[in-house]
Structure 1
Amino acid sequence: MLKPSLHVLARHVSHRARGFATTNTSRMQKATTTLLIVGSSAAVAAYFLLPDISRGAPTSDTKPINPSHFTPAELVSSTFASNGTKILTVAIPPELLPTERDLFAPIWSVFIKDDDIQVERPYTPLDGVDKDGNMKFWIKRYNHGEVSRWLHSKKVGETIEIRGPVRTWSWKDDAWDEIILISGGTGVTPFYQLLRTVFSGNSFKGRITLLHSSRLPSELPPPDVLDPLLELARHNPDKFRLKLFVDSFGETKDRSFAGVEIHQGRIGKDVIWRAVHSASNFPSLRGLFSRDSDNSDRKILFLICGPEQMVGAIAGPYGRNYSQGPIGGVLQSLGYKSHQVWKL
């Protein structure tokens, strides 16, 4: 059996989102957050560095889905989306869903196995899983991506084996006042899952901003992904805002997409500063911060998910085996600290 390398698996899991809690101003709260980060990092390191039978997990069609084995699922829908991507929906038999619904708290993913060459990769279900066992994915086909190419070739009615759920980041309603999500390409999928879950209830009191970037307008998220996010922004104007960016408009002359203005240029220092401090979007922020204010003790969290080059420019490069590494890039220049930043 061919196995994915440690380097590749670590890259994909970190790309699908892990998180931690930023803290209040007290030392005790900071110490608690540090312990949570260390514990999360240790758990992930243990997964990759210690022997684990799940690397060669068996397949079971009688046991509820679990990270220790693969479960056969049927591909029930496969449709072309934006450039080079598809929306895929797989269905697990409802009787194979676990009864512990908290296993599906955001952010979680599943491993999908290319059973031709026995390689697995993690993917984040957009809306989680419904009562009928359906999971929907937005997946880009990469020329050198074994599993993505295999998935794009699958026909409706064929079987796909999945393993999970694997919790990759834990949400807590009252941990942050301000959350800035920065994504590129299909890196928006864990944020989509998070946002849909958070705004399905009314307990979150903070503010969330999503800054999403694509190379061209044709590569922006398809309607299946973008439309629900736009609805969340319209219905929660005091809690959620969405901004779209493209590197270039190419031959497209329309500077809007689904009625939303598209900004040309990469997500850089000025964009991020305005996202945090703009009073016009969140009136409650007016007069609260200045450009020279100390950001080290604010209850603010940055989650970044996208191409490695983008992550490095915004938050500094990953460490060895795609560990967090030191903070760098734009966020370091703006005065933020490592406990306020997480590279997915």
Structure 2
Amino acid sequence: MGSRILFTPRLARSVTSVAVAGTGVGLYYVYTGNVVRADSGAPKQAFGSGPAFLSLQLESTEAVNHNTKRLRFRLPDANTVSGLSLTSALLTFSWPKGSILPVLRPYTPVNALDEPGALEFLVKQYPNGKQSTHLHSLKPGDSLRFVTRLPGYKWEPNKHSEIMLIAGGAGITPAYQLLRGILQNPDDHTKVTLVFGVNTDADLLLRQELDEYETRFPGRFRVVYTVSRPVEGSPFRKGYVSKGLLKEMAPLPNDGKVFVCGPPPMETSLVGDRKKPGILEELGYRKDQIHKF
């Protein structure tokens, strides 16, 4: 994901949280030397263009299913917003107990980016995932360090008349962030189709929110669920995100865009690699029409 950030044990242990300094003109919020201006009347932003090294306290934790939690972190104060743009993620830093080296992993917020006072994440715990296991062990009152924002695709309202989001498992989080930003913006009229593939019915994260959006925005948003191991009597389509399924979707116009996020095998199958093209190219989509989160 762009430039690499290197940490030494000494640097990692010396990272500070937040220092606030008053100046003669407005307020400046200083995060270990990186300054973000908060002009009078404008919401303060937690994350600017550079590193933040900001330590945030966990406000609440909620089990969503057997391996996923919703974690809500408190921003520096109730009037602070994230300062993130659509498709951005945040790079987290921790030193899990028993780990020789620190761990850095990106996570995508799922609450509104302009919501003041808090950031929310859906975190799936993987069997050998050091950071996800550490995050699942956190209790309200514990803190987590956020290193910097990771800007993604530069979204411009109405640049594409229609887009398709293809998500697998926990890859729903960046797709949901973009979808939410589009539909909540009255000036953005982009049409959106979401294809969401998971292992079991219980893995359909954010299903209630997605179904509500489909109801609220008929003709603008459509969601298609597919489950590889559905329970008996499941109302959802059975199978993977396959060439056959995507072929059933109405083809995007020439200015359309496809966004993909999911497990590496799924992404390779859809996007391809140096050896062979992926399913999307086989279906006629140009390389410049495909973006991998």
TM-score by length of 2: 0.81
Moved more, 124-133 or 169-178: 124-133
Q: Deviations over 1:81-139 (max 9, x none)?
A: 123111111112127947xx7x4220111112113442211100001445542111111
Residues 1:93 and 2:76 are matched in the alignment? yes
Q: What does residue 135 of structure 2 align with?
A: 151
Residues 1:112 and 2:89 are matched in the alignment? no
CA RMSD in angstroms, aligned pairs only: 2.5
Residues 1:237 and 2:193 are matched in the alignment? no
Structure with greater helix share of residues = 1
| Aligned with residue 300 of structure 1, among 253, 256, 260 | 256
Structure 1 residues 334 and 143: alpha-carbon distance in aligned structure 2, compared to 1, 3 A threshold: same
Q: What does residue 108 of structure 2 align with?
A: 124
Structure 1 residues 79 and 236: alpha-carbon distance in aligned structure 2, compared to 1, 3 A threshold: same
8 Å CA contact 2:182, 2:190 repeated in 1: no
| Aligned-pair identity (%) | 25
Moved more, 58-67 or 113-122: 58-67
What CA distance in whole angstroms lies between the structure 1 residues aligned with 2:276 and 2:191? Answer: 23
What CA distance in whole angstroms lies between the structure 1 residues aligned with 2:198 and 2:191? Answer: 23
Following TM superposition, the consecutive aligned residue runs of length 4 or more in structure 1 with deviations greater than 3 angstroms are 51-57, 64-67, 95-98, 128-132
For 1:176, what is the secondary structure of its paired residue? coil
Structure with greater strand share of residues = 2
What CA distance in whole angstroms lies between the structure 1 residues aligned with 2:272 and 2:286? Answer: 12
Q: Which amino acid aligns with 1:85?
A: T
| Aligned with residue 283 of structure 2, among 334, 337, 340 | 334
Q: What does residue 170 of structure 1 align with?
A: 154
What CA distance in whole angstroms lies between the structure 2 residues aligned with 1:96 and 1:53? Answer: 31
Alignment map for 1:21-170 (pairs within 5 Å): 44=2, 47-48=3-4, 58-62=15-19, 63=30, 65-66=46-47, 67-94=50-77, 97=80, 103-116=83-96, 117-170=101-154
Q: What does residue 164 of structure 2 align with?
A: 180
What CA distance in whole angstroms lies between the structure 1 residues aligned with 2:281 and 2:185? Answer: 33
Q: What does residue 264 of structure 1 align with?
A: 238
For 2:155, what is the secondary structure of its paired residue? coil
Residues 1:274 and 2:255 are matched in the alignment? no
What CA distance in whole angstroms lies between the structure 2 residues aligned with 1:334 and 1:328? Answer: 10
Q: Which amino acid aligns with 2:176?
A: Y
Which structure 1 segments of 5+ residues have no match?
Answer: 1-9, 11-43, 257-261, 278-294, 318-324
What CA distance in whole angstroms lies between the structure 2 residues aligned with 1:145 and 1:136? Answer: 20
Q: Deviations over 1:205-237 (max 9, x none)?
A: 23110000101112221xxx2212111111111
Structure 1 residues 326 and 226: alpha-carbon distance in aligned structure 2, compared to 1, 3 A threshold: farther
What CA distance in whole angstroms lies between the structure 2 residues aligned with 1:210 and 1:135? Answer: 24
Q: Which amino acid aligns with 1:332?
A: E
Deviation for aligned residue 1:159:
1.2
TM-score by length of 1: 0.69
Q: What does residue 211 of structure 1 align with?
A: 195
Q: What does residue 268 of structure 2 align with?
A: 312
Question: Greater relative contact order: 1 or 2 (C-alpha under 8 angstroms, separation 6 or more)?
Answer: 1
Q: What does residue 227 of structure 2 align with?
A: 246
For 1:311, what is the secondary structure of its paired residue? helix
